[in-house]
Amino acid sequence: MSAYLELLKKSLTASLYEESAWQVIDGPMNDVTGFAAALKRKVVSFLKQRGLLIVRAKPYQPELREQGLDWPLFGLTMVGMRRLNNVQECIEDVLAKGIPGDFVETGVWRGGSSIFAKAVFRQHGADNRAIWCCDSFEGMPAPKATDLLLQKKSDFSDRDYLAVTEEQVANNFRKFDLLDANVKFLKGWFCDTLPTAPIQSIAILRMDGDLYDSTMDALKNLYAKVSLGGYVIVDDYKSWRGCRTAVDEFRKNNKVEDQFVDIDAHAVFWRKTK
């Protein structure tokens, strides 16, 4: 079991391939300005329309991938090894303690973290636990005033790299023979889908929405469903100010005093005790 899950982590993070450190040139042209930026943007757009991409070769740095500090070119998750270790530890703890509920991820990208969660449950004979993949499946929304005020560079809505369809994520589950009826997809913006989501009980809530509203929507609509003894994981707490502000406000307003535990340079989690 251990060898399979360790190999799966390396596969999902693309840590097996040094070429995974290469980067697609996408979104804003921050490295050039003026005429050069306009020309570069036109070239990138021209190639995209023909199914071609410009890729910048970069050296693979294991320490960055360990903490999820780079964006893998062809991996299925960008969270890195430590955050996948955290998912495994949380799942194994709720199973050992009999904590009821499903695994819910808000913001799944290519599905890697949810795929790994499914594998851990299956390896422990708990395949009846649902895996909820909640995402727009259209990329990130444009940030609202709160996020832009807190962090100017928070608009990633134009990054094609971040837009992954529901069918692509489902197909990624199939690649590992992990797609079944207990893998659920909830498509749409969180403000529209989460208030009426048919999720009854949550053992692990993993939030990866980056922005203030995305994080607050997840907390307001799902936190009450997290079982006592269950876990709340915040992927972006230390790197996205909008996310951190939403978490801090929610915890203060709802008198959540459970201790944060650091995972890596980006993420934290806590265990719900009351």
Give the domain CATH number at 255: 3.40.50.150
Instruction: Show Cβ contacts of residue 93 under 8 Å, excluding neighbours closer than 6 positions.
Output: 99, 231
Stretch among 97-101, 143-147, 257-261 having the lowest mean pLDDT: 143-147
Residue 84 included in any domain: yes
| Bigger pLDDT: 53 vs 86 | 86
What CA–CA distances, in Å, run from 206 to 114, 132, 133? 9, 10, 10
CA distance 83 to 65: 11
Residue 55 included in any domain: no
What CA–CA distances, in Å, run from 76 to 48, 55, 70, 245, 260? 21, 18, 13, 28, 27
Instruction: Show Cβ contacts of residue 129 under 8 Å, excluding neighbours closer than 6 positions.
Output: 101, 102, 103, 121, 182, 203
Element (H, E) at 86: helix 80-97
At 212 the pLDDT is 95
| pLDDT band, residue 29 (cuts 50/70/90) | very low
At 151 the pLDDT is 80
Q: What angle do CA 28, 50, 137 make, to 5 degrees?
A: 60
Cβ 73 vs Cβ 53: under 8 Å: no
Cβ 70 vs Cβ 64: under 8 Å: yes
At 234 the pLDDT is 98
The yes-or-no verdict on residue 51 having pLDDT over 80 is no
CA distance 132 to 111: 11
Residue 92, both tokens? 């194994």
Residue 29 included in any domain: no
Residue 94 included in any domain: yes
The yes-or-no verdict on residue 64 having pLDDT over 50 is yes
Count of structural domains within the chain? 1
Q: Could you give the count of Cα atoms lying within 13 Å of 145 in the half-sphere of its Cβ? A: 0
The yes-or-no verdict on residue 145 having pLDDT over 90 is no
| Bigger pLDDT: 1 vs 8 | 8
Burial of residue 239 (CB within 10 Å: 0-12, 13-18, 19+) is middle
Residue 69 included in any domain: no
Residue 155 included in any domain: yes
Range of the domain at 203: 80-271
Residue 20 included in any domain: no
Mean pLDDT across the stretch 219-236?
A: 98
Mean pLDDT across the stretch 121-136?
A: 97
The yes-or-no verdict on residue 185 having pLDDT over 80 is yes
Percent of the chain with pLDDT over 90: 75
Burial of residue 2 (CB within 10 Å: 0-12, 13-18, 19+) is exposed
Mean pLDDT across the stretch 146-173?
A: 83
Element (H, E) at 268: strand 268-271
Q: For the segment 131-141, what is each residue's pLDDT rounded down to a tens digit?
A: 999 999 998 87
Mean pLDDT across the stretch 30-53?
A: 67
At 105 the pLDDT is 98
Residue 10 included in any domain: no
